[in-house]
Structure 1
Amino acid sequence: MADTVLSMKEVELKLEGNAGLVPILNGITLDVQRGQSLGLTGPSGSGKSSLLMVMGGLERATSGQVQALGQDLGAMQEDALARFRRHHMGVVFQNFHLLPTMTALENVALPLEIAGARDAFARAKAELEAVGLAHRMHHHPTELSGGEQQRVALARALAPRPEILLADEPTGNLDARTGVQIMDLLFGLRDHYGATLVLVTHAADLAARCDRVVGLRDGAILSDSLA
Protein backbone atom coordinates (compact mmCIF):
# COMPACT_ATOMS: atom_id res chain seq x y z
CA MET A 1 0.00 0.00 0.00
CA ALA A 2 1.31 3.45 -0.95
CA ASP A 3 2.65 5.60 1.88
CA THR A 4 0.47 8.70 2.26
CA VAL A 5 2.38 11.71 3.59
CA LEU A 6 -0.31 14.38 3.13
CA SER A 7 -4.02 13.72 3.62
CA MET A 8 -6.89 16.20 3.44
CA LYS A 9 -10.52 15.25 4.06
CA GLU A 10 -13.42 17.63 3.32
CA VAL A 11 -11.22 20.65 3.99
CA GLU A 12 -12.84 24.06 3.90
CA LEU A 13 -11.20 27.45 4.34
CA LYS A 14 -13.06 30.71 4.86
CA LEU A 15 -11.26 34.01 5.36
CA GLU A 16 -12.58 37.32 6.62
CA GLY A 17 -13.31 39.84 3.87
CA ASN A 18 -14.94 43.26 3.67
CA ALA A 19 -18.36 41.64 3.29
CA GLY A 20 -17.79 38.88 5.85
CA LEU A 21 -16.43 35.37 5.48
CA VAL A 22 -15.25 34.48 1.99
CA PRO A 23 -15.06 30.79 0.95
CA ILE A 24 -11.57 29.95 -0.34
CA LEU A 25 -11.48 26.13 -0.26
CA ASN A 26 -14.64 24.07 -0.62
CA GLY A 27 -14.54 20.47 0.55
CA ILE A 28 -11.06 19.45 -0.62
CA THR A 29 -10.26 15.74 -0.24
CA LEU A 30 -6.79 14.80 -1.42
CA ASP A 31 -4.00 12.32 -0.58
CA VAL A 32 -0.36 12.77 -1.61
CA GLN A 33 2.01 9.81 -1.63
CA ARG A 34 5.61 9.70 -0.44
CA GLY A 35 8.08 10.73 -3.12
CA GLN A 36 5.36 12.02 -5.44
CA SER A 37 5.64 15.35 -7.25
CA LEU A 38 2.24 17.05 -7.37
CA GLY A 39 1.47 20.14 -9.42
CA LEU A 40 -1.40 22.38 -8.33
CA THR A 41 -2.80 24.38 -11.24
CA GLY A 42 -5.74 26.64 -11.97
CA PRO A 43 -6.59 30.29 -12.66
CA SER A 44 -5.76 33.10 -10.25
CA GLY A 45 -8.10 32.95 -7.27
CA SER A 46 -8.77 29.22 -7.64
CA GLY A 47 -7.28 28.44 -4.21
CA LYS A 48 -3.92 26.92 -5.22
CA SER A 49 -1.71 28.87 -2.83
CA SER A 50 -4.28 28.66 -0.05
CA LEU A 51 -4.35 24.88 -0.42
CA LEU A 52 -0.56 24.78 -0.21
CA MET A 53 -0.60 26.94 2.92
CA VAL A 54 -3.19 24.67 4.56
CA MET A 55 -1.05 21.61 3.70
CA GLY A 56 1.87 23.22 5.50
CA GLY A 57 -0.12 24.36 8.51
CA LEU A 58 0.63 27.99 7.59
CA GLU A 59 -3.12 28.56 7.30
CA ARG A 60 -5.60 26.69 9.46
CA ALA A 61 -8.55 25.00 7.80
CA THR A 62 -11.96 26.26 8.90
CA SER A 63 -13.25 22.68 8.90
CA GLY A 64 -12.18 19.21 7.79
CA GLN A 65 -9.00 17.31 8.59
CA VAL A 66 -5.42 17.93 7.48
CA GLN A 67 -2.76 15.33 8.25
CA ALA A 68 0.94 15.38 7.43
CA LEU A 69 3.08 12.31 8.12
CA GLY A 70 0.20 10.94 10.18
CA GLN A 71 -0.03 14.01 12.41
CA ASP A 72 -3.26 16.02 12.69
CA LEU A 73 -2.16 19.60 11.95
CA GLY A 74 -5.48 21.01 13.12
CA ALA A 75 -4.93 19.61 16.62
CA MET A 76 -1.51 21.23 17.05
CA GLN A 77 -0.84 24.48 18.84
CA GLU A 78 1.20 27.10 16.97
CA ASP A 79 4.48 26.20 18.70
CA ALA A 80 4.02 22.52 17.92
CA LEU A 81 3.17 23.35 14.31
CA ALA A 82 6.31 25.45 13.97
CA ARG A 83 8.45 22.61 15.35
CA PHE A 84 6.79 20.11 13.02
CA ARG A 85 7.47 22.29 9.97
CA ARG A 86 11.04 22.89 11.10
CA HIS A 87 11.77 19.16 11.22
CA HIS A 88 9.64 17.84 8.37
CA MET A 89 8.79 20.55 5.82
CA GLY A 90 10.58 22.94 3.53
CA VAL A 91 8.71 25.89 1.99
CA VAL A 92 9.79 27.93 -1.04
CA PHE A 93 7.93 31.15 -1.84
CA GLN A 94 7.68 33.23 -4.99
CA ASN A 95 9.11 36.25 -3.16
CA PHE A 96 12.07 34.35 -1.65
CA HIS A 97 11.53 35.67 1.93
CA LEU A 98 15.25 35.95 2.66
CA LEU A 99 16.37 38.02 5.64
CA PRO A 100 18.03 41.13 4.13
CA THR A 101 20.49 41.69 6.98
CA MET A 102 21.93 38.17 6.68
CA THR A 103 24.30 36.76 4.09
CA ALA A 104 23.28 33.84 1.90
CA LEU A 105 25.22 31.53 4.20
CA GLU A 106 23.52 32.92 7.32
CA ASN A 107 20.06 32.65 5.70
CA VAL A 108 20.59 28.97 4.91
CA ALA A 109 22.17 28.21 8.30
CA LEU A 110 19.36 29.88 10.29
CA PRO A 111 16.79 27.03 10.26
CA LEU A 112 19.56 24.56 11.05
CA GLU A 113 20.69 26.67 14.02
CA ILE A 114 17.09 26.94 15.27
CA ALA A 115 16.84 23.15 15.04
CA GLY A 116 19.97 22.85 17.18
CA ALA A 117 22.36 21.55 14.51
CA ARG A 118 25.94 21.97 15.69
CA ASP A 119 27.26 21.87 12.13
CA ALA A 120 24.75 24.42 10.80
CA PHE A 121 27.23 26.53 8.87
CA ALA A 122 29.09 23.56 7.41
CA ARG A 123 25.81 22.12 6.17
CA ALA A 124 24.67 25.52 4.87
CA LYS A 125 27.92 25.88 2.94
CA ALA A 126 27.42 22.43 1.38
CA GLU A 127 23.85 23.33 0.37
CA LEU A 128 24.96 26.55 -1.30
CA GLU A 129 27.66 24.65 -3.14
CA ALA A 130 24.98 22.19 -4.30
CA VAL A 131 22.97 25.01 -5.89
CA GLY A 132 26.03 26.59 -7.49
CA LEU A 133 26.47 29.53 -5.12
CA ALA A 134 29.75 28.74 -3.39
CA HIS A 135 31.14 32.04 -4.73
CA ARG A 136 28.18 34.10 -3.44
CA MET A 137 27.65 32.73 0.06
CA HIS A 138 28.95 35.85 1.80
CA HIS A 139 26.74 38.21 -0.20
CA HIS A 140 23.51 39.74 1.09
CA PRO A 141 20.20 39.28 -0.78
CA THR A 142 20.34 42.79 -2.28
CA GLU A 143 23.65 41.84 -3.91
CA LEU A 144 22.14 38.77 -5.59
CA SER A 145 20.03 38.41 -8.73
CA GLY A 146 16.49 37.07 -8.51
CA GLY A 147 17.65 33.65 -9.67
CA GLU A 148 20.44 33.61 -7.12
CA GLN A 149 18.04 34.61 -4.33
CA GLN A 150 15.71 31.76 -5.30
CA ARG A 151 18.68 29.36 -5.22
CA VAL A 152 19.42 30.53 -1.68
CA ALA A 153 15.75 30.01 -0.76
CA LEU A 154 15.91 26.48 -2.20
CA ALA A 155 19.08 25.71 -0.29
CA ARG A 156 17.47 27.00 2.92
CA ALA A 157 14.34 24.90 2.40
CA LEU A 158 16.30 21.72 1.67
CA ALA A 159 19.07 22.09 4.25
CA PRO A 160 17.09 20.38 7.06
CA ARG A 161 16.35 17.45 4.68
CA PRO A 162 12.54 17.80 4.83
CA GLU A 163 10.29 14.91 3.90
CA ILE A 164 7.83 17.37 2.34
CA LEU A 165 8.77 20.29 0.08
CA LEU A 166 6.12 22.92 -0.67
CA ALA A 167 6.81 25.44 -3.45
CA ASP A 168 4.48 28.36 -4.19
CA GLU A 169 5.11 29.73 -7.70
CA PRO A 170 8.91 29.43 -7.22
CA THR A 171 9.60 30.82 -10.71
CA GLY A 172 6.89 33.51 -10.71
CA ASN A 173 9.30 36.44 -10.29
CA LEU A 174 11.98 35.10 -12.64
CA ASP A 175 12.56 35.39 -16.37
CA ALA A 176 11.83 32.28 -18.46
CA ARG A 177 15.43 31.09 -18.77
CA THR A 178 16.21 31.51 -15.07
CA GLY A 179 12.87 29.90 -14.22
CA VAL A 180 13.79 26.77 -16.17
CA GLN A 181 17.15 26.62 -14.39
CA ILE A 182 15.44 26.89 -11.00
CA MET A 183 12.95 24.15 -11.87
CA ASP A 184 15.75 21.87 -13.12
CA LEU A 185 17.48 22.46 -9.81
CA LEU A 186 14.30 21.94 -7.76
CA PHE A 187 13.43 18.62 -9.39
CA GLY A 188 17.06 17.50 -9.30
CA LEU A 189 17.33 18.17 -5.58
CA ARG A 190 13.94 16.55 -5.00
CA ASP A 191 15.12 13.42 -6.81
CA HIS A 192 18.42 13.41 -4.94
CA TYR A 193 16.91 13.73 -1.47
CA GLY A 194 13.65 11.82 -2.11
CA ALA A 195 11.32 14.48 -0.76
CA THR A 196 7.64 14.70 -1.63
CA LEU A 197 7.09 17.85 -3.72
CA VAL A 198 3.92 19.93 -3.98
CA LEU A 199 4.27 22.73 -6.51
CA VAL A 200 1.88 25.61 -7.26
CA THR A 201 2.28 26.91 -10.80
CA HIS A 202 0.44 28.68 -13.61
CA ALA A 203 2.84 27.24 -16.19
CA ALA A 204 1.59 24.14 -18.01
CA ASP A 205 5.14 23.08 -18.95
CA LEU A 206 6.21 23.09 -15.31
CA ALA A 207 3.12 21.21 -14.18
CA ALA A 208 3.80 18.62 -16.89
CA ARG A 209 7.08 17.74 -15.16
CA CYS A 210 5.17 16.51 -12.11
CA ASP A 211 4.04 12.91 -11.56
CA ARG A 212 0.51 14.15 -10.92
CA VAL A 213 -1.44 17.32 -11.66
CA VAL A 214 -4.49 18.54 -9.71
CA GLY A 215 -6.50 21.35 -11.26
CA LEU A 216 -8.49 23.73 -9.05
CA ARG A 217 -11.33 26.10 -9.77
CA ASP A 218 -13.33 28.13 -7.25
CA GLY A 219 -11.68 26.35 -4.34
CA ALA A 220 -12.59 22.85 -5.51
CA ILE A 221 -10.76 20.08 -7.35
CA LEU A 222 -11.69 20.18 -11.02
CA SER A 223 -9.31 17.49 -12.30
CA ASP A 224 -6.76 14.98 -10.96
CA SER A 225 -4.46 13.17 -13.38
CA LEU A 226 -1.27 11.12 -13.29
CA ALA A 227 1.53 11.72 -15.77
Structure 2
Amino acid sequence: MTNLVLELQNAALSLDGNAGRVDILHDITLSVARGETLGLVGPSGSGKSSLLMLMGGLEQVTEGRAIALGQDLTGMDEDTLARFRRDAMGVVFQNFHLIPTMTALENVATPLELAGHKDAFERAEAELQAVGLSHRRDHYPAQLSGGEQQRVALARASAPRPQILLADEPTGNLDETNGAAIVDLLFGLRDKHGATLILVTHSHSLAQRCDRVVRLRDGRIAEDVRQEAAE
Protein backbone atom coordinates (compact mmCIF):
# COMPACT_ATOMS: atom_id res chain seq x y z
CA MET A 1 0.00 0.00 0.00
CA THR A 2 1.36 3.41 -0.96
CA ASN A 3 2.42 5.77 1.80
CA LEU A 4 0.97 8.76 -0.07
CA VAL A 5 -2.45 10.05 0.91
CA LEU A 6 -2.58 13.09 -1.38
CA GLU A 7 -0.95 13.86 -4.70
CA LEU A 8 -1.27 16.77 -7.10
CA GLN A 9 0.26 16.32 -10.54
CA ASN A 10 0.83 19.50 -12.58
CA ALA A 11 -2.43 20.80 -11.15
CA ALA A 12 -3.85 24.17 -12.15
CA LEU A 13 -6.98 26.03 -11.11
CA SER A 14 -8.77 28.73 -13.08
CA LEU A 15 -12.14 30.23 -12.17
CA ASP A 16 -14.57 32.39 -14.12
CA GLY A 17 -15.35 35.73 -12.49
CA ASN A 18 -17.09 38.97 -13.43
CA ALA A 19 -13.89 40.25 -15.02
CA GLY A 20 -13.34 37.03 -16.95
CA ARG A 21 -11.24 33.94 -16.33
CA VAL A 22 -8.76 34.15 -13.45
CA ASP A 23 -5.78 31.82 -13.16
CA ILE A 24 -5.31 31.02 -9.46
CA LEU A 25 -2.92 28.04 -9.27
CA HIS A 26 -0.23 27.08 -11.77
CA ASP A 27 1.55 23.75 -12.32
CA ILE A 28 1.34 22.47 -8.72
CA THR A 29 3.07 19.14 -8.14
CA LEU A 30 2.94 18.04 -4.52
CA SER A 31 2.76 14.79 -2.55
CA VAL A 32 1.72 14.35 1.09
CA ALA A 33 2.62 11.22 3.05
CA ARG A 34 0.44 9.35 5.50
CA GLY A 35 0.60 10.89 8.97
CA GLU A 36 2.43 14.00 7.79
CA THR A 37 1.62 17.50 9.04
CA LEU A 38 1.83 20.06 6.25
CA GLY A 39 1.53 23.82 6.68
CA LEU A 40 0.54 25.98 3.68
CA VAL A 41 1.81 29.55 4.06
CA GLY A 42 2.25 32.66 1.95
CA PRO A 43 0.86 36.16 1.50
CA SER A 44 -2.85 36.84 1.05
CA GLY A 45 -3.92 35.95 -2.48
CA SER A 46 -1.06 33.50 -3.02
CA GLY A 47 -3.45 30.55 -3.46
CA LYS A 48 -3.16 28.78 -0.09
CA SER A 49 -6.88 28.23 0.50
CA SER A 50 -7.45 27.36 -3.16
CA LEU A 51 -4.77 24.68 -2.91
CA LEU A 52 -6.44 23.27 0.19
CA MET A 53 -9.76 23.21 -1.70
CA LEU A 54 -8.15 21.22 -4.53
CA MET A 55 -6.78 18.71 -2.03
CA GLY A 56 -10.23 18.26 -0.53
CA GLY A 57 -12.06 18.05 -3.85
CA LEU A 58 -13.96 21.22 -2.98
CA GLU A 59 -12.60 22.70 -6.21
CA GLN A 60 -11.84 20.68 -9.33
CA VAL A 61 -8.50 21.03 -11.09
CA THR A 62 -8.77 22.64 -14.52
CA GLU A 63 -5.49 21.02 -15.59
CA GLY A 64 -3.51 18.10 -14.22
CA ARG A 65 -4.70 15.59 -11.63
CA ALA A 66 -5.64 15.44 -7.96
CA ILE A 67 -5.41 12.05 -6.23
CA ALA A 68 -6.47 11.29 -2.66
CA LEU A 69 -6.10 7.89 -0.97
CA GLY A 70 -5.52 6.33 -4.37
CA GLN A 71 -8.73 7.80 -5.81
CA ASP A 72 -8.55 10.17 -8.76
CA LEU A 73 -10.68 13.16 -7.74
CA THR A 74 -10.33 14.72 -11.17
CA GLY A 75 -13.11 12.77 -12.82
CA MET A 76 -15.52 12.46 -9.88
CA ASP A 77 -18.95 14.12 -10.01
CA GLU A 78 -20.16 16.26 -7.10
CA ASP A 79 -22.15 13.49 -5.40
CA THR A 80 -19.23 11.05 -5.53
CA LEU A 81 -16.86 13.73 -4.22
CA ALA A 82 -19.25 14.56 -1.37
CA ARG A 83 -19.43 10.90 -0.32
CA PHE A 84 -15.65 10.57 -0.54
CA ARG A 85 -15.12 13.64 1.67
CA ARG A 86 -17.73 12.40 4.13
CA ASP A 87 -15.97 9.06 4.51
CA ALA A 88 -12.31 10.09 4.31
CA MET A 89 -11.84 13.78 5.14
CA GLY A 90 -12.54 16.25 7.90
CA VAL A 91 -12.57 19.97 7.09
CA VAL A 92 -12.30 22.87 9.55
CA PHE A 93 -12.96 26.37 8.22
CA GLN A 94 -12.09 29.78 9.63
CA ASN A 95 -15.78 30.71 9.83
CA PHE A 96 -16.95 27.53 11.62
CA HIS A 97 -19.90 26.78 9.25
CA LEU A 98 -22.09 25.36 12.00
CA ILE A 99 -25.81 24.85 11.38
CA PRO A 100 -27.46 27.61 13.48
CA THR A 101 -30.70 25.70 14.14
CA MET A 102 -28.89 22.69 15.59
CA THR A 103 -27.31 22.24 19.00
CA ALA A 104 -23.61 21.55 19.38
CA LEU A 105 -24.36 17.85 19.79
CA GLU A 106 -26.58 17.76 16.70
CA ASN A 107 -23.96 19.61 14.63
CA VAL A 108 -21.36 16.98 15.47
CA ALA A 109 -23.73 14.03 15.08
CA THR A 110 -25.18 15.03 11.70
CA PRO A 111 -22.27 13.89 9.45
CA LEU A 112 -22.13 10.64 11.42
CA GLU A 113 -25.85 10.07 10.85
CA LEU A 114 -25.46 10.81 7.14
CA ALA A 115 -22.69 8.21 7.01
CA GLY A 116 -25.02 5.65 8.58
CA HIS A 117 -23.41 5.35 12.03
CA LYS A 118 -26.01 4.04 14.46
CA ASP A 119 -24.03 5.36 17.43
CA ALA A 120 -23.84 8.87 15.96
CA PHE A 121 -24.95 10.70 19.10
CA GLU A 122 -22.76 8.64 21.41
CA ARG A 123 -19.71 9.33 19.24
CA ALA A 124 -20.66 13.00 18.96
CA GLU A 125 -20.88 13.29 22.72
CA ALA A 126 -17.45 11.67 23.09
CA GLU A 127 -15.94 14.13 20.62
CA LEU A 128 -17.46 17.11 22.43
CA GLN A 129 -15.97 15.78 25.64
CA ALA A 130 -12.59 15.47 23.89
CA VAL A 131 -12.65 19.20 23.07
CA GLY A 132 -13.91 20.16 26.52
CA LEU A 133 -17.47 21.05 25.56
CA SER A 134 -19.67 18.28 26.93
CA HIS A 135 -21.31 20.86 29.21
CA ARG A 136 -22.34 22.90 26.13
CA ARG A 137 -23.82 20.01 24.15
CA ASP A 138 -27.37 21.43 24.16
CA HIS A 139 -26.40 25.00 23.29
CA TYR A 140 -26.91 26.52 19.83
CA PRO A 141 -24.05 28.20 17.92
CA ALA A 142 -25.36 31.69 18.73
CA GLN A 143 -25.04 30.84 22.43
CA LEU A 144 -21.37 29.86 22.06
CA SER A 145 -18.26 32.02 21.91
CA GLY A 146 -16.05 31.99 18.81
CA GLY A 147 -13.58 29.65 20.49
CA GLU A 148 -16.38 27.29 21.52
CA GLN A 149 -17.85 27.28 18.01
CA GLN A 150 -14.47 26.36 16.56
CA ARG A 151 -14.18 23.53 19.09
CA VAL A 152 -17.55 22.22 17.92
CA ALA A 153 -16.38 22.48 14.30
CA LEU A 154 -13.23 20.59 15.22
CA ALA A 155 -15.24 17.87 16.98
CA ARG A 156 -17.49 17.57 13.92
CA ALA A 157 -14.50 17.22 11.59
CA SER A 158 -12.78 14.59 13.72
CA ALA A 159 -15.84 12.54 14.71
CA PRO A 160 -15.90 10.35 11.55
CA ARG A 161 -12.21 9.45 12.18
CA PRO A 162 -11.02 10.93 8.87
CA GLN A 163 -7.77 9.81 7.31
CA ILE A 164 -7.16 13.39 6.13
CA LEU A 165 -7.85 16.50 8.21
CA LEU A 166 -7.88 19.85 6.37
CA ALA A 167 -7.93 23.16 8.25
CA ASP A 168 -8.26 26.58 6.59
CA GLU A 169 -7.00 29.31 8.97
CA PRO A 170 -8.51 27.49 11.97
CA THR A 171 -7.36 30.24 14.38
CA GLY A 172 -8.05 33.20 12.07
CA ASN A 173 -11.16 34.44 13.89
CA LEU A 174 -9.93 33.74 17.42
CA ASP A 175 -7.94 35.64 20.00
CA GLU A 176 -4.47 34.43 20.94
CA THR A 177 -5.58 32.34 23.92
CA ASN A 178 -8.43 30.59 22.11
CA GLY A 179 -6.27 30.19 19.01
CA ALA A 180 -3.54 28.44 20.98
CA ALA A 181 -6.10 26.12 22.57
CA ILE A 182 -7.55 25.18 19.16
CA VAL A 183 -4.07 24.46 17.80
CA ASP A 184 -3.31 22.15 20.74
CA LEU A 185 -6.62 20.36 20.18
CA LEU A 186 -6.02 20.08 16.44
CA PHE A 187 -2.62 18.46 16.87
CA GLY A 188 -3.93 16.34 19.75
CA LEU A 189 -6.75 14.94 17.62
CA ARG A 190 -4.25 14.34 14.80
CA ASP A 191 -2.11 12.32 17.19
CA LYS A 192 -5.10 10.48 18.66
CA HIS A 193 -6.60 9.39 15.34
CA GLY A 194 -3.42 9.20 13.22
CA ALA A 195 -4.78 11.51 10.53
CA THR A 196 -2.73 13.40 7.99
CA LEU A 197 -3.08 17.11 8.83
CA ILE A 198 -2.89 19.87 6.22
CA LEU A 199 -3.51 23.44 7.31
CA VAL A 200 -3.48 26.93 5.87
CA THR A 201 -2.13 29.54 8.24
CA HIS A 202 -0.66 33.03 8.53
CA SER A 203 0.72 32.10 11.95
CA HIS A 204 4.47 31.55 12.00
CA SER A 205 4.30 29.67 15.32
CA LEU A 206 1.61 27.32 13.98
CA ALA A 207 3.59 26.65 10.80
CA GLN A 208 6.64 25.85 12.92
CA ARG A 209 4.76 22.97 14.55
CA CYS A 210 4.32 21.23 11.21
CA ASP A 211 6.62 18.53 9.82
CA ARG A 212 6.81 20.39 6.54
CA VAL A 213 5.97 23.87 5.23
CA VAL A 214 5.03 24.75 1.66
CA ARG A 215 5.19 28.45 0.79
CA LEU A 216 3.10 29.75 -2.08
CA ARG A 217 3.61 32.89 -4.13
CA ASP A 218 1.44 34.02 -7.03
CA GLY A 219 -0.25 30.63 -7.27
CA ARG A 220 2.97 28.64 -7.45
CA ILE A 221 5.05 26.69 -4.94
CA ALA A 222 7.96 28.96 -4.02
CA GLU A 223 9.43 26.79 -1.28
CA ASP A 224 8.94 23.31 0.18
CA VAL A 225 10.83 22.80 3.44
CA ARG A 226 10.89 19.79 5.75
CA GLN A 227 11.56 20.76 9.35
CA GLU A 228 11.72 19.38 12.84
CA ALA A 229 8.27 19.91 14.37
CA ALA A 230 8.31 21.79 17.65
CA GLU A 231 7.39 19.88 20.75
Q: TM-score range by the shorter chain?
A: over 0.9
Distance 1:135 1:17 in 2: 45
Give the C-alpha shift of residue 2 in structure 1: 6.6
Structure 1, residues 130-166: CA drift from partner, whole Å, max 9, x if none?
0000100000000000000000000000000000000
| Structure 1 residue matching 2:172: 3-state secondary structure | coil
In structure 1, the partner of 2:17 is 17
Give the C-alpha shift of residue 108 in structure 1: 0.1
Distance 1:190 1:147 in 2: 19
Matched AA of 1:154: L
Structure 1, residues 184-209: CA drift from partner, whole Å, max 9, x if none?
01001101110000000011110000
Matched AA of 1:113: E
In structure 1, the partner of 2:206 is 206
Give the C-alpha shift of residue 75 in structure 1: 1.2
Distance 1:115 1:15 in 2: 31
| Structure 2 residue matching 1:110: 3-state secondary structure | helix
In structure 2, the partner of 1:26 is 26
The answer as to 2:40 corresponding to 1:40 is: yes
| Residue correspondences, number | 227
In structure 1, the partner of 2:55 is 55
Matched AA of 1:71: Q
In structure 2, the partner of 1:215 is 215
In structure 1, the partner of 2:149 is 149
Distance 1:145 1:110 in 2: 21
In structure 2, the partner of 1:159 is 159
Q: Which runs of 4+ in 1 moved over 2 A?
A: none
In structure 2, the partner of 1:111 is 111
| Structure 1 residue matching 2:24: 3-state secondary structure | strand
Give the C-alpha shift of residue 16 in structure 1: 1.1
Distance 1:171 1:29 in 2: 27
Contiguous gaps of at least 5 residues in structure 2: none
Distance 1:8 1:133 in 2: 37
Q: Percent identity?
A: 70
Distance 1:183 1:25 in 2: 27
Give the C-alpha shift of residue 62 in structure 1: 0.7
Give the C-alpha shift of residue 18 in structure 1: 2.7
Distance 2:190 2:165 in 1: 8
The answer as to 2:195 corresponding to 1:191 is: no
Give the C-alpha shift of residue 19 in structure 1: 2.5
In structure 2, the partner of 1:178 is 178
Contiguous gaps of at least 5 residues in structure 1: none
| Structure 2 residue matching 1:180: 3-state secondary structure | helix
Distance 1:63 1:8 in 2: 10
In structure 2, the partner of 1:134 is 134
The answer as to 2:94 corresponding to 1:94 is: yes
Q: CA RMSD in A?
A: 0.9
| Structure 2 residue matching 1:174: 3-state secondary structure | coil
Give the C-alpha shift of residue 17 in structure 1: 2.2
Matched AA of 1:64: G
Matched AA of 1:5: V
